[in-house]
Structure 1
């Protein structure tokens, strides 16, 4: 007998004494039993981060579709489909926090799949703690999230403090190795942390930092690249989201700013970047933790990166990136935890609390990679098990793994061709 049925039997024998306590901690849920798990999703479906927000949405939706195509999540011989309800953060942290609060109050969700951006996640995480709501983000990467030690928030992508720094290390093994770098970034939590990680890698490698500049989202990139060009660096690192990467390379091409290479994190392997940058995006370096061609396997859904990619192409007619894959993996982690607990919907508060404990002790093998959350230290509740990879787009915009050396597919095209040869 599963836990929910035990609660039903216990509740029936003591109904008179528990009438006023239905739904209180320890006595199950005040909601009637559901035939489905109901998860909330808070992400940016509008605003300047909507492109990334819709990447997370595709990842979450693909998990739901695959689960429901198999008639749902099996718990003790019964199957429960998954339903998702959305709240639009509108690319704004305070709006995201309000949306999360209203969702929890009005929608009675069992758990929450989280935002695309780190700024919104930093605002949403305290709401999850206040309401004791389990929450996994398949995207946000700022180390600030995990340094705050959120009790109810988890993340499937390793923090950018690790990803960007490890990818930058690969650049310093190129021949010829860069002797000077210029680092720019958007002054938001994720992008700032990315730029700081690039700077830290440069300092560790003893590379001269010709310039370091953070600026607002709405900046004029012609001014940014003009300053960088005057410094004449060997290499340019940029921390930002897809839109800022596109603006950067377009401005650089316009004024013929052409260092030996550019590295932007995140999203150079997305269709949004490739379509936005066009040929100017060819030979761009980036960082990732997953590609459709990486050799990983396992899990209750999809099995391999190739099978996942095929499913994504069939559903969305586009190739998935690591954020979409990590968002799908977030759903799989919840699915595994529900099965491990043997819990049926709707979840009571006691069950949601137990879900957090289950997530802290779970190790899930997925097509994306192994997911295991840290339970101590500066990366608390972050999954840091997946190896970061440095990639470079080729002349057709396809990614090649160029670092670390033990994972590289070949040597990078470096220095990169000039703008008129791409």
Structure 2
């Protein structure tokens, strides 16, 4: 099936491009950003867009990117792929061949990023994935793909260690996972982490993308009376499930949901039901780094985000901004916008940004971050790991 732009999509692109134009610039650096701006993944896509826009506007507000004796303004070319992975792949190719972008930001999530990475590799265009953590995204031997999320086990292992060593009598775990690349991959990592700590996985079930009623599956889960319930999916999935768990009276000692509780929208939508929900993410505003990027520090980035959007950034928004900041640093290191030179600079990068330490392993996946574990307590997220950014102790029970 061919892909065609809709007029209103072109309007979205045009508005987005206008939003990141500087007052003056000699040349333009174009970055393609296929995003799910409509459809079930739109909350996540819109978050990425906010992160990219903040970076681009900050770059242009500082006069653009100076390299090779030229100054470039940044123009981000957005296209909505409507939460449809095949369309994301088509869009990525169109951005390269028709729109002549210099670089790419990957589509949302591990599945779409993996699918689109073949396009970037074929055209030898560096692509930075801001929301792809599954190791299977990076096991293809590609040279032009780089990701800002560490592998999934870096989230599940610390959380499991905390719970298993808590002395709270947590012995059994039930896992419920969306049948999609990232949610299923992190569920499998959770199973491995649990078994490594001698916790019994009493159930492991999957649900289809687009499922709107989880009552039957959750009822089956209730029969096993798990001490710990671990659920994966995206924010709309998790909001629905949290409400249905309350309706069914499922009250484990520990409830973990990934990914969604990191977003303020989850707390707003679930209210008191968010109490003591645990999660983990790749970044949190509580971290503190002094970076070499254009934001300079975590505190500066958080302030810039709050000034622009009137809200505190979450890990998805920060990762998107970091993708831009990392690309900018690589261009500076390369002294050129030549794709191969920038690719080599990304592969050799070992630096600190507002987002944290940035170093990519031989697959292109970042391996230098220590993702925080956090819990929603009394309507706000509190980091409980690592020690350097710890804001409180883990609470058990009190699941409504």
- Is this a same-fold pair by TM over 0.5? yes
The corresponding residue for 2:220 is 227
Instruction: Measure the CA separation in 2 of the matches of 1:174 and 1:217.
Output: 34
The corresponding residue for 1:330 is 323
The answer as to 2:162 corresponding to 1:175 is no
CA offset digits 1:149-174 (Å, max 9, x no partner): 32211101112233233333322222
Q: Is the 8 A contact 1:167 1:404 kept in 2?
A: no
The answer as to 2:180 corresponding to 1:188 is yes
Map 1:108-257 onto structure 2 (within 5 A): 108-219=100-211, 220-257=213-250
Instruction: Measure the CA separation in 1 of the matches of 2:257 and 2:124.
Output: 36
- TM-score, structure 1 length as denominator? 0.85
Aligned counterpart for 1:43 among listed residues 32, 35, 43: 35
Higher relative contact order, chain-length normalized (CA < 8 Å, sep 6+): 1
The answer as to 2:306 corresponding to 1:313 is yes
CA offset digits 1:209-247 (Å, max 9, x no partner): 111011102222112221111110101011111111111
Q: Is the 8 A contact 1:183 1:238 kept in 2?
A: yes
Q: Is the 8 A contact 1:119 1:189 kept in 2?
A: yes
Aligned counterpart for 1:365 among listed residues 352, 356, 359: 352
The corresponding residue for 1:5 is none
The corresponding residue for 2:18 is none
The corresponding residue for 2:96 is 104
Instruction: Measure the CA separation in 1 of the matches of 2:209 and 2:361.
Output: 32
The corresponding residue for 1:286 is 279
The corresponding residue for 1:356 is 343
Instruction: Measure the CA separation in 2 of the matches of 1:158 and 1:146.
Output: 11
Instruction: Measure the CA separation in 1 of the matches of 2:328 and 2:297.
Output: 18
- CA 1:239/1:418 → structure 2, altered by over 3 Å: closer, same or farther? closer
**What's the secondary structure of 1:247's corresponding residue?**
helix
The corresponding residue for 1:388 is 371
Shift of 1:63: 0.6
Q: Is the 8 A contact 1:170 1:404 kept in 2?
A: no
**What's the secondary structure of 2:391's corresponding residue?**
coil
Aligned counterpart for 1:402 among listed residues 366, 381, 384: 384
**What's the secondary structure of 2:305's corresponding residue?**
helix
Shift of 1:303: 2.1
CA offset digits 1:42-87 (Å, max 9, x no partner): 2211111111111111111111011111011122564321110012
Q: Is the 8 A contact 1:186 1:215 kept in 2?
A: yes
- CA 1:406/1:355 → structure 2, altered by over 3 Å: closer, same or farther? closer
Shift of 1:295: 2.1
RMSD over aligned Cα atoms: 1.7
Q: Is the 8 A contact 1:39 1:85 kept in 2?
A: yes
Instruction: Measure the CA separation in 1 of the matches of 2:333 and 2:219.
Output: 56
Aligned counterpart for 1:71 among listed residues 57, 63, 74: 63
CA offset digits 1:244-266 (Å, max 9, x no partner): 11111110011111111211112
Q: Is the 8 A contact 2:281 2:371 kept in 1?
A: yes
**Corresponding residue pairs, total:** 375
CA offset digits 1:281-321 (Å, max 9, x no partner): 12110002221121222123222222211211221222111
Q: Is the 8 A contact 1:149 1:381 kept in 2?
A: no
Q: Is the 8 A contact 1:291 1:305 kept in 2?
A: no
Shift of 1:403: 2.7
Instruction: Measure the CA separation in 2 of the matches of 1:177 and 1:55.
Output: 38
Higher Cα radius of gyration: 1
- CA 1:170/1:405 → structure 2, altered by over 3 Å: closer, same or farther? farther
Instruction: Measure the CA separation in 1 of the matches of 2:112 and 2:236.
Output: 17
**What's the secondary structure of 1:303's corresponding residue?**
coil
Instruction: Measure the CA separation in 2 of the matches of 1:353 and 1:78.
Output: 19
**What's the secondary structure of 2:98's corresponding residue?**
helix
- TM-score, structure 2 length as denominator? 0.90
Shift of 1:362: 1.2
Higher alpha-carbon deviation: 146-155 or 125-134: 146-155
Instruction: Measure the CA separation in 2 of the matches of 1:304 and 1:394.
Output: 27
Gaps of 5+ in 1: 1-32
Shift of 1:410: 2.9
Instruction: Measure the CA separation in 2 of the matches of 1:59 and 1:66.
Output: 11
**What's the secondary structure of 2:93's corresponding residue?**
helix
